Chain A
Amino acid sequence: MDIPYTVHARPDTGLYNAKIGIWLFLASEVMLFGGLFSAYIFLRVGADYPWPVHDLDVTLGFINTVVLIASSVTVVMAWAMLKLRKFGWYRINMAITVICAGLFMYNKSLEYRAKFAHYAVKLTDGTMLTGHLPHGYQVKFEGATEFNLSVPLKTSAVSADPIGHVLPFIEGTAPKFKTEDGQEITLDEASFKALSAEAVKKAAAAKKGTASIKLIATTPIKFAVKPSEIFAYTDTTITFRDGTTVTGKLTDDKMTLEVDGVDARGVAQSDKSLAFDHRYLGEAWQKAFVENRDHHITKFEKDYPTRDKTRSATLQKESLFFKLNSAEPPAAGAAHGDAHGGEAHAPAGGHGEAHAHHPTVVLEKKDFTFFSNFTPKLNTYYAIYFTLTGLHGLHVIAGALVLLYFLAFDGKRLRQDPEHLANRVEVGGLFWHFVDLVWIFLFPLLYLL
């Protein structure tokens, strides 16, 4: 049975059915995105940190805005051309629309990738350093010999699994271990299974709740592991995610960071920021920072003599969020090279290759409290940024797939019933315009304001 009223209007509503359907769907979509925009307002009103403004790549965002607007024009043109029975033009316009969707998603992927590779490190005095981790960040141990594994007899979330959670982080060749009965083994799935079965049997006989296995490495072992891949560590022990503890000696938990920004907005005396300690950026950068800060403040006082300096978010950012664009501190007087303010060099995501142009500091663990790449973990702004743009991106993909389907697989309908296809394209187009409409609000809210 055919679906009724796909081509001609239903007498009581005056519309073909699919159109009522898409508008009802769009109404629910408005509520979906409306809920998230409402969440954005809540997060922004309640943010206890300077809300990022112009922190994303504005150029890339603007290009994507133009791309989406262009595709909105072409999709409505495709519909009009179909109505006028100009099939060639219909196909061209549809193809451009789908290509625009691809371009939009490609740009989005560039933006996301840059964010994943860019890090922020919070120092103990409130300074935020931004930059790249050229070698990642790993904690290093050496001289590890004693391994304590425990297997709970009841099913438990944490149970020894050295194959999955300990061995991958060993540097060098696969080590050999001595068991408590003096047997020498190589640790693998089979040998561990046998070991733990025996230990469980012993523990059950002794009426203990947990079976413990002690292994001694025949040669001292070195570990290199990301802090996120283990539970915890001290100067002498690591506790792995499977509950296994290993004793050894911590040799390195310093973080090598190529610094491209010093955000001193959270520091009471910005020029005394820990970032300018002699171990880190040092005096020359401190001077450049102060020079840049005072330059922006003087300029603001001159341009807006009546305004309150402390209440200008832009001034706060320009004067206290210092961008480092060279490996060496600039010569005196050149620190504020750009007269338009810090915005011209906003920390765009897309400078993946420019690592060499930033100074490198080696941060001691005791000097930083938190670090993250620019992902939802960093702050609520990035949380809502990824939620909103991610959901919007899914809509772009879905809309493009529908339009691509009409273009590629609806040829029969195009020849036999173009009026029906025109209605389908109109409905797909309405969804596409909605996607554009959401972006019209997302772009200023996330990139500009």
Chain B
Amino acid sequence: MADNIEAIQKSIKWYLIIGGILILASGATVWLSYVELPTHSLNILVGMILATIKATLVALIFMHLNHERSMIYKILLFTVVLAVVLFALFIFAHEDPLVFSGFYAPVEQQ
């Protein structure tokens, strides 16, 4: 991207602001992890949402993904899809594969 002088001068201020936001968000993540939410899964969810926001800021601002050529988005589209598949794999371990595939329905236990 043809970053001209003025655009870069302007972005310097943003780099510092984003850096500050990231540190504050990290502090918030630490604090929220000690808060007793109704279930621990909620703590994990909140923590991961914060981490995803932070990661998005790094990618958009520091890695300049907010103004990149289409070629790079095409590469990343594949990566994102495949990574999501990787994270979804655990469903097969978490659920009983026989039940999950509809092979049989378990009898309700008392």
- CB pair A449–B90 under 8 Å, yes or no, is no
Partner of A38, one of B27, B30, B71, B86: B86
Q: List residues of B (48-98) whose CB comes within 8 Å of A's CBs.
A: 48, 50-51, 54-55, 58-59, 62-63, 69-72, 75-76, 78-79, 82-83, 86-87, 89-90, 93-94
Among the interface residues B16, B75, B79, which one has the most CB atoms of the partner chain A within 10 A? B79
Report chain A residues within 8 Å CB of B75: 20, 23-24, 27
- CB pair A23–B19 under 8 Å, yes or no, is no
- CB pair A42–B71 under 8 Å, yes or no, is no
In the bound assembly, the distance between CA atoms of A31 and B89 in angstroms comes to 14
- CB pair B36–A304 under 8 Å, yes or no, is yes
Report chain B residues within 8 Å CB of A440: 22, 26, 51, 54-55, 58
Partner of A27, one of B36, B58, B76: B76
Report chain A residues within 8 Å CB of B100: none
In the bound assembly, the distance between CA atoms of A194 and B26 in angstroms comes to 67
A34-B58 contact given A14-B71, A65-B26, A440-B51, CB 8 Å threshold: no
- Among residues of B, the one whose C-beta sits closest to the C-beta of A51 is B40
- CB pair B76–A448 under 8 Å, yes or no, is no
The minimal Cβ–Cβ distance linking A98 to chain B, given in whole angstroms, is: 17
- CB pair B58–A23 under 8 Å, yes or no, is no
In the bound assembly, the distance between CA atoms of A24 and B29 in angstroms comes to 31
- CB pair A66–B44 under 8 Å, yes or no, is no
The minimal Cβ–Cβ distance linking B24 to chain A, given in whole angstroms, is: 10
Report chain A residues within 8 Å CB of B51: 440-441, 443-444
Q: Which A residues form the contact surface with B (CB < 8 A)?
A: 13-15, 19-20, 23-24, 27, 30-31, 34-35, 37-38, 41-42, 45-46, 53-54, 58, 62, 65-66, 69-70, 72-73, 76-77, 80, 83-84, 303-304, 307, 311-315, 343, 429-430, 433-434, 436-437, 440-441, 443-444, 448-449
What would be 17 A-B contacts, judged by CB atoms less than 8 Å apart?
A13-B71, A27-B76, A27-B79, A30-B79, A31-B79, A31-B86, A34-B82, A42-B93, A54-B34, A73-B16, A84-B9, A312-B40, A343-B34, A433-B59, A433-B63, A440-B26, A449-B47
